[in-house]
Amino acid sequence: MSRILGTIPEFLENKLTDEFLEIKRLFQMNEFQPSQLNAGRLAEVVLRIFQDLLSETITPLGNQISARDKTRILNSVENHPTLDPHIRQKSTSIVRLLLDFRNNRDIAHLGGLNANKIDAYFIMISSNWIYAEFIRVYGNYPIEDAQIMIDKLGVPNYPVIFDIDGDEFIARDNLKSWEEVLVFCSVRERGFDFLYSKTKDSNKKRFSDTISRMIKDRLILIKDGKYYIMPKGIEKVKERKLLEY
């Protein structure tokens, strides 16, 4: 991948990109727990980018930055006289929130809504905003090119599987029935009736044959009446980009 944050150390750019893409991947797979969405991990990378902007020694990846130092770094960026105003005023607040999700957010339900899902949307949008701002400010691109990259990065990301009142649906309309089976099973185990009711195939015998072929090809397996995705099926999901919308 070519560099897009030219004035940021390359190893931090690479790590920021890795964490951002992992957040997108987990979001698209409906893995909503804040810890799984790596909000804190991305925030830790941003803290090291802040250390670089402040001309401080960068804490090695894998080493812990103390809570006291985190506060000091964020305060120093907020009060820096020459850093970009959006970086100083907004990104520091977002980083504080992302760190707070990891440290203080319990797995709770608010007013009947799943807090994990609400958190996940916030984390996805916030991570998207931080990455876009770093491209704009530190990418060293002409403003026209930077805007194109930010626009692409800023396109909303929706899970391929979404639910309405607890009922799950696939957002994409261009998948074959066996691909839909893999998408549903990539999240959790599924029963036959659920899979049949959710796929495009209206012929139950034909759908049953499809399931049998998938088992024979080791894309899925059946245990106690439930279908589970196998490593070969996971590879198909990745290869065919079935979780991208």
Domain boundaries, the chain: 10-153, 161-239
Q: Where are the alpha helices (DSSP H) in the chain?
A: 10-28, 39-53, 67-78, 85-86, 92-104, 115-138, 143-153, 177-185, 192-198, 204-216, 231-239
- Residue bearing the bigger pLDDT, 115 or 191: 191
Residues near 10 by beta carbon (within 8 Å), at least 6 away in sequence: 3
What's the pLDDT band for 49 if we cut at 50, 70, 90?
very high
Distance CA 47, CA 181 (A): 41
What's the pLDDT band for 80 if we cut at 50, 70, 90?
very high
pLDDT averaged over every residue in the chain: 85
- 184: amino acid identity, one letter: F
Does the pLDDT at position 245 exceed 90?
Answer: no
189, 196, 244, 242: which is closest to 220 by C-alpha? Answer: 189
Question: What pLDDT does 230 receive?
Answer: 94
Does the pLDDT at position 143 exceed 80?
Answer: no
What's the pLDDT band for 160 if we cut at 50, 70, 90?
confident
Which whole number is the average pLDDT over 215-233?
Answer: 95
- Residue bearing the bigger pLDDT, 166 or 192: 192
Which whole number is the average pLDDT over 14-25?
Answer: 85
Question: What pLDDT does 203 receive?
Answer: 95
CB atoms within 10 A of CB 203: 11
Does the pLDDT at position 166 exceed 90?
Answer: no
Q: Which two tokens stand for residue 63?
A: 């080493």
Distance CA 32, CA 37 (A): 7
Distance CA 16, CA 213 (A): 41
Residues 161-239, CATH architecture: Orthogonal Bundle (1.10)
Distance CA 214, CA 130 (A): 41
